[in-house]
């Protein structure tokens, strides 16, 4: 503190003399400028005429230089106390600012540490939330895939049983039609769970056990409705077949009485009818598959939207936000790292035409460019010789002060 007081007192006495010293030094300069111009004109004329200076002129020039040196020294001596004082004053200002900077950094340090901790925590929360989101999205996809497979499998099994019953009717003969009627009438249509088997989809974020449990859960949820539907459809078809038996028996009797030509005609009609029936069944199966896929896709979109909304809410409520500045610092761990930094600069930062600036660019400047480029564009140098370390700094914001 005493040093600052001494400088202030010295400034009060010395600085008022500065204008006079400047004026005196300026007057010296003016005098010497005029005499120098005369001497230069004289010297240039002699050089032009004789190619050299006369001895007298050279002595004049030498005398001027000796005198000018004395004037320069005098000017320097006159201004030195003042400029030294000004240097001390500037140093006093900068030392005060340096103290402020030290204080600022001492307050900034814990905020930076806290900001980094928050950033790490937010990154952990985001990673956990992303993992949950990935698994939840896959769950939606798996549920949809499993449902399609189960519904398709059921449709195949149902169609197979319907076809079997219809074929049974179509393939009856006079010798077994009466016995078949009693067998068909005794049928109790029932879809057993062990027939409802699919190949489990392969997951990325779930275990095979989890997928198997999903399949089992969906089977158990849907089985009662599926079994009821199966019984209803097959019971109705059974009654249709039983109702068709008299006509079938009559057709068989007529077929037996008919001649060979007529039998061939009737056989051809039956075959054509069977082919048309098969084509109709295939078309119906394709339409059913399309309907299943469309309905499941709608359900999947609704579920996916719900999952995304839940993820956004989770991240928003769990993460903390504060004004921070993020940047990267590159740590060079091997000599080749500097070469890779230089190559990166030549590829992304070097000006195309300004060749003169190439030699002025240092490796440290190239590294700084790579650090800023990574922060701005998200592009890093892939190298085992370089490590990108994220720097997080808290920002001093007037808005936070007002909010508090």
Residue 282, pLDDT score: 60
Per-residue pLDDT of 251-283, as tens digits, reads 888 877 765 666 666 567 766 666 676 666 566
What value does the CA radius of gyration of the chain take, rounded to a whole number of Å? 49
Rounded CA-CA distance 59/56 in Å is 5
Residue 176, pLDDT score: 87
Is residue 25 within 8 Å of residue 79, measured between CB atoms?
Answer: yes
Length of the chain: 404
The rounded Cα 395 to chain-centroid distance in angstroms is: 24
Is residue 144 within 8 Å of residue 300, measured between CB atoms?
Answer: yes
Residue 111, pLDDT score: 87
Kindly report the number of other CB atoms within 10 A of residue 130's CB atom.
12
Domain ranges of the chain: 2-116, 129-318, 324-403
Rounded CA-CA distance 100/266 in Å is 110
Helix orientation angle between 260-318 and 55-170, rounded to the nearest 10 degrees: 140
* Three-state SS at 312: helix
Rounded CA-CA distance 24/82 in Å is 14
Is residue 342 within 8 Å of residue 386, measured between CB atoms?
Answer: no
274: its two tokens: 């069977």
Residue 169, pLDDT score: 87
* Three-state SS at 40: helix
| Per-residue confidence in pLDDT tens, the chain, 404 aa | 556 667 778 778 878 888 999 999 999 899 999 999 999 999 999 999 999 999 999 999 999 999 999 999 999 999 998 898 898 888 888 998 999 999 988 998 898 888 888 888 888 888 888 888 888 888 888 988 898 899 989 998 999 999 889 888 888 888 888 888 888 888 999 999 999 999 999 999 999 999 999 999 999 999 999 999 999 999 999 999 999 888 888 888 887 776 566 666 656 776 666 667 666 656 665 666 666 666 667 766 766 676 566 656 665 555 556 567 788 999 999 999 999 999 999 888 877 666 777 778 899 999 999 999 998 998 999 999 999 998 888 777 666 555 55
The pTM of the full predicted model, rounded to 2 decimals, is 0.54
Rounded CA-CA distance 224/193 in Å is 10
């Amino acid at each position: 503190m005493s040093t600052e007081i001494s400088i202030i007192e010295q400034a009060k006495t010395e600085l008022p003399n500065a204008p006079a010293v400047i004026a005196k030094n300026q007057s010296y300069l003016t005098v010497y400028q005029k005499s120098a111009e005369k001497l230069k004109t004289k010297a240039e004329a002699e050089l032009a005429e004789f190619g050299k200076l006369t001895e007298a002129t050279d002595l004049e020039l030498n005398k001027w230089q000796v005198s000018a040196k004395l004037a320069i020294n005098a000017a320097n001596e006159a201004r030195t106390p003042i400029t030294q004082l000004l240097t001390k004053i500037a140093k006093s200002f900068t030392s005060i600012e340096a103290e402020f900077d030290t204080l600022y950094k001492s307050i900034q340090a814990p905020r930076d540490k806290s900001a980094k901790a928050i950033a790490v925590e937010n990154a952990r929360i985001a990673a956990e939330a992303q993992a949950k989101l990935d698994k939840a999205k896959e769950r939606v996809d798996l549920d949809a895939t499993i449902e399609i497979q189960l519904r398709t499998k059921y449709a195949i099994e149902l169609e197979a049983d319907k076809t079997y019953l219809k074929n049974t009717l179509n393939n009856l003969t006079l010798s077994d039609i009466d016995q078949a009627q009693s067998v068909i009438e005794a049928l109790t249509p029932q879809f057993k769970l062990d027939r409802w088997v699919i190949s489990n989809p392969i997951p990325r974020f779930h275990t095979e056990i989890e997928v198997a449990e999903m399949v089992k859960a969906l089977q158990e949820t849907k089985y009662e409705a599926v079994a009821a539907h199966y019984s209803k459809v097959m019971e109705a078809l059974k009654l249709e077949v039983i109702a068709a038996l008299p006509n079938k028996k009559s057709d068989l009797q007529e077929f037996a009485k008919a001649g060979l030509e007529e039998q061939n005609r009737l056989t051809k009609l039956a075959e054509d009818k069977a082919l048309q029936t098969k084509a109709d069944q295939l078309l119906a199966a394709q339409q059913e598959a399309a309907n299943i896929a469309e309905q499941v896709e709608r359900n999947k979109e609704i579920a996916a939207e719900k999952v995304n909304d839940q993820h956004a809410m989770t991240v928003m409520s769990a993460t903390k936000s504060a004004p921070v500045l993020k940047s990267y610092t590159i740590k060079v761990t091997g000599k080749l790292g500097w070469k890779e930094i230089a190559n990166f600069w030549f590829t992304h930062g070097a000006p195309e035409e300004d060749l003169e600036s190439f030699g002025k660019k240092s490796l440290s400047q190239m590294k700084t460019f790579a650090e800023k480029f990574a922060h701005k564009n998200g592009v890093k140098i892939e190298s085992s010789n370089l490590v990108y370390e994220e720097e997080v700094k808290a920002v001093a914001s007037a808005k936070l002060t007002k909010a508090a």
